[in-house]
Structure 1
Amino acid sequence: MKRSEGPETRIRGAEPGDEDALAVLDRDTWSPLHAVLPAPTPPYEPFFDARHRPEDYLVAVRGGAVVGYVRVVPPTPLAANAHVRQIQGLAVAETARGHGVARALLRAAMDKARADGAVRITLRVLSHNAPARALYASEGFVVEGVLPDEFLFDGRYVDDVLMGRTLRG
Structure 2
Amino acid sequence: MSISQQTVTIRFSEIKDAAQLMEIDDIVWDKYTAPEPLHWSSRDNYLLHCPPGSQLVAVCEDDICGYVGFRTPTGLESNHHVLELNIAIHPSYQRKGLGSRLMQAAKDMARLEHKRKLRLRVLSSNPGAISFYKTCGFHEEGRLEREFFIDGHYVDDILMGYFI
- TM-score of the two chains, using structure 2 as the length reference: 0.91
1:9, distance to aligned residue in structure 2 (A)? 2.0
Runs of at least 5 residues in structure 1 that lack an aligned partner in the other structure: none
CA–CA distance in structure 2, aligned partners of residues 39 and 16 of structure 1:
19
CA–CA distance in structure 1, aligned partners of residues 113 and 151 of structure 2:
39
Classify 1:126/1:106 alpha carbon distance in 2 versus 1 (closer, same or farther; 3 Å).
same
1:26, distance to aligned residue in structure 2 (A)? 1.3
1:40, distance to aligned residue in structure 2 (A)? 2.6
Contact 1:73 1:86 in 2 (8 A): yes
Match of 2:33 in 1: 34
1:74, distance to aligned residue in structure 2 (A)? 0.6
Match of 1:113 in 2: 110
Q: Which amino acid aligns with 2:158?
A: V
Question: Is 1:101 equivalent to 2:98 in the alignment?
Answer: yes
Runs of at least 5 residues in structure 2 that lack an aligned partner in the other structure: none
Aligned sequence identity (%):
34
1:105, distance to aligned residue in structure 2 (A)? 1.1
Q: Which amino acid aligns with 2:21?
A: L
Q: Which amino acid aligns with 1:22?
A: L
Question: Is 1:8 equivalent to 2:7 in the alignment?
Answer: yes
**Which structure's residues are more often helix, by fraction?**
2
SS at match of 1:76: coil
CA–CA distance in structure 1, aligned partners of residues 156 and 27 of structure 2:
24
Contact 2:82 2:118 in 1 (8 A): yes
RMSD, matched Cα: 1.6
Matched pairs, number: 161
CA–CA distance in structure 2, aligned partners of residues 85 and 8 of structure 1:
28
CA–CA distance in structure 2, aligned partners of residues 38 and 57 of structure 1:
20
SS at match of 1:54: coil
